[in-house]
């Protein structure tokens, strides 16, 4: 199970309502609405990793 970063619901990765990728991380959402909210302001939800560690992993 993954946590929906927007509403905090537990989301089954096998059957997510929606998914998105930001900062090299995959996010799972309970519904498209939460994905929309996430994409409006992803920085608000993405837990920043240590600078430099993710370099090169995203095209
Ligand atoms: Zn949600």
- pLDDT, tens digit, for every residue of 20-37? 998 888 999 999 999 999
Rounded to the nearest angstrom, the distance between the alpha carbon of 56 and the centre of ligand 1 is: 30
Distance (Å, rounded) from C-alpha 20 to C-alpha 27?
5
Residue 58 forms part of a structural domain: no
How many domains does one find in the chain?
A: 1
Task: Give residue 16's domain range.
Answer: 2-44
Helix then strand count (H, E) for the chain reads: 1, 4
What is the CA(58)–ligand 1 centre distance, in A? 25
Q: How far apart are CA 30 and CA 53, in angstroms?
A: 29
For residue 21, the CA-to-ligand 1 centroid distance in Å is: 15
Domain-embedded: residue 11:
yes
pLDDT band at 51 (very low <50, low <70, confident <90, very high): low
pTM summary value: 0.77
User: Is 57 within a domain?
Assistant: no
Residues 27 and 11: beta-carbon distance below 8 Å? no
Kind and range of the H or E element at 36?
helix 32-40
- Joined tokens for residue 50: 């240590």
* Residue 20 within a domain: yes
Does residue 27 belong to any structural domain of this protein? yes
Instruction: Identify whether 12 is part of a domain.
Output: yes
């Amino acid at each position: 199970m993954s946590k929906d970063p927007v509403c905090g619901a537990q989301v089954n990765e096998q059957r997510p309502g929606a998914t998105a990728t930001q900062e090299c991380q995959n996010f799972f959402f309970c519904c498209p609405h939460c994905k929309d909210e996430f994409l409006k302001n992803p920085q608000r939800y993405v837990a920043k990793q240590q600078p430099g560690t993710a370099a090169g992993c995203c095209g």
